[in-house]
Amino acid sequence: MIAATLLCAAISPAYAATPQPSRANPGRAPSITTPDDVPKQKAAVLSYWNAIDENDWARWVRCYAPPLRAEYESFAFNPTNQEEGMGVLAIKSAQVISMERVDDMYALMFYKDLHTYYSSGSYACYLVEINTFVKPENDYFSTGKSKHICIIVKDDAGWHMGTIYAYSTEYENALRGVTNDFVDFITQPTTITIKDKKGVIHKNISFTEAIVNITCNEIGAMGYKTDAVYANIMAIKMLCWWAKVAKFQEGDGYDIGYPNVTYLDHFNTNASQTKTIRSAVDVMKPYYMVSSSQTGSKLFDSDYDGYASKGKGSGTLSQPESQKMALNGKTWQEILHYFYDNSAFNNPNVGIVKIGHECKFAKASSYSSNSTQHWLACKICGAKITVVNHTWVQYTGYAKCSVCGRLKEVAASSIMNYLK
Ligand SMILES: [Zn+2]
Ligand SMILES: [Zn+2]
């Protein structure tokens, strides 16, 4: 199917030699690429990186497909973004080392503004290795060699840039037929960088506050049942978590934004609704959702929207359907399993999703103890967290742990020893 097309250095012969299984996705037709297209596609990718190399941001904007340009224009010509060197704006020079056409599955459904191109097969994916000098370095770009997936799209005028995102070593797994939009689990992030609907980037805001705000915007004013609220929070949280770790939207200098999640817009909850959402986010704080153990318990793209249900196993949690299910007595876990089990929203099947928790976020507020140690128990599974020996302080006839307050009787003889 796809012959590897390399510009300069070969990446690895193994990539070129291995036939790549194309993964079907209902929202994505196979890419239509004629032999004539290939040089034009490569030129589109190359001119994109050349514009960055020359720091010609007006040209960089014009490399994108016309409907996408307004957003990139407001990003590139925002004085704060330029001053702080957000995303690609921090790149001082960039040379393309190699370029290779890769499987259609890299056209992630996450990029909703590219769906029209996907549905007509007017797209292609390239793996590009570049060498960059970056100043100041940011969370998305640093000096040296790096690999990126470029999704290019076609309209009547020809091929344009659609988006870029960071390539990870998961690519090798993809070639073996495992995954590519899966990323390794890391503990819950503390911050996230989000773009709101107006294009303003909010840098390193508290992860928890972001989830509260997005949930309020999405469903906070709808009076959903508690289990529906919990399921929505989980979908939003895992989407943000995945996007942060996977460095999607890297070129634009943020982790996630509109239209994937709505931050700081339609924030029309009243004080009591906001409070309800805030405490629900707090209850959900320890929980996470990952792919099945068989698929490596990975973070994955949990799609989320406000439209009618796309059905069981669609990989997209529907807000109205989640409420309907909660009204029918389904728990938040059942709702998540319904939408995400065996889904392949972006790519491979996630299997039966695993809902787990991080004990450190579910610490009891008071100590439990035995005769030698005290600990804080996990409120969900009872596991002992931070187990340490008591710090005994001796009193006449008894001793007391100065940390947990446990008492023990002390024989008179040992008091005499202690006093000696
Ligand atoms: Zn636990
Ligand atoms: Zn103690």
pLDDT in tens, 305-354: 998 898 999 999 999 999 999 999 999 999 999 999 999 887 678 999 99
If you measure from the C-alpha of residue 341 to the centroid of ligand 2, how many angstroms do you get, rounded to a whole number? 44
Q: Compute, in angstroms, the gap from residue 412 CA to the centroid of ligand 2.
A: 22
Which ligand neighbours the alpha carbon of 385 most closely?
Answer: 1
Ligand nearest to the CA of 371: 2
Q: How confident is the model at residue 419 (pLDDT cuts 50, 70, 90)?
A: low
State the pLDDT at residue 112: 87
Nearest bound ligand to the CA of residue 363: 1
The rounded Å distance from CA 404 to ligand 2 centre is 4
CA of 370 to the centre of ligand 2 (A): 8
User: Which of the ligands is closest to the CA of residue 362?
Assistant: 1
Does the pLDDT at position 19 exceed 50? no
Tell me how far the alpha carbon of residue 97 lies from the centroid of ligand 2, in angstroms.
60
Q: Return the ligand number nearest the Cα of 408.
A: 2
Ligand positioned closest to the Cα atom of 379: 1
- pLDDT exceeds cutoff 60 at 252: yes
pLDDT bracket for residue 416 (50, 70, 90): low
382 Cα–ligand 2 center, Å: 18
**Distance between CA atoms of 128 and 163, rounded to whole angstroms?**
13
Of 115, 257, 249, 243, the closest CA to residue 197 belongs to 257
pTM attached to this predicted model: 0.79
Token pair for 164: 């870029």
Give the closest ligand to the alpha carbon of residue 391. 2
Give domain limits for the chain.
13-175, 191-357, 363-419
Nearest ligand to residue 388 Cα: 2
Query: How confident is the model at residue 259, as a pLDDT?
Result: 83
Q: Nearest ligand to the C-alpha of residue 393? A: 2
Give the Å distance between the CA of 389 and the centre of ligand 2: 6
CA of 289 to the centre of ligand 1 (A): 14
Share of the chain above pLDDT 70, in %: 88
In angstroms, what is the span from residue 187 Cα to ligand 1's centroid? Answer: 14
User: Thinking of the domain 13-175, which architecture would CATH place it in?
Assistant: Roll (3.10)
Long-range CB pairs of 187-193 (<8 Å, 24+ gap) are 187/358, 188/241, 188/285, 188/288, 188/358, 188/361, 189/241, 189/244, 189/245, 192/240, 192/244, 192/255, 192/256, 193/139, 193/253, 193/254, 193/255
Average pLDDT over the chain, rounded to an integer? 87
Taking the centre of ligand 1 as the mean of its atom positions, its distance from the CA of residue 298, in whole angstroms, is 19
pLDDT at 268: 79
Ligand approaching nearest to the C-alpha of 381: 1
The H or E element that residue 207 is part of is helix 207-215
Which ligand has an atom closest to residue 401 CA?
2
Q: How many angstroms does the Cα of residue 368 sit away from the middle of ligand 2?
A: 8
User: Which of 27-31, 55-59, 304-308, 349-353 is predicted most confidently?
Assistant: 55-59
User: What separation in Å is there between the alpha carbon of 359 and the centre of ligand 2?
Assistant: 20
Q: Are 132 and 91 in contact (CB under 8 A)?
A: yes
Half-sphere exposure of 336 (CA within 13 A, CB side): 28
State the Cα–Cα distance between residues 87 and 89, nearest whole angstrom.
5
Q: Separation of 319 CA from ligand 1 center, angstroms?
A: 29
- 325 CB burial (10 A radius; 0-12, 13-18, 19+): buried
Which ligand is nearest to the Cα of residue 377, counting in written order? 1
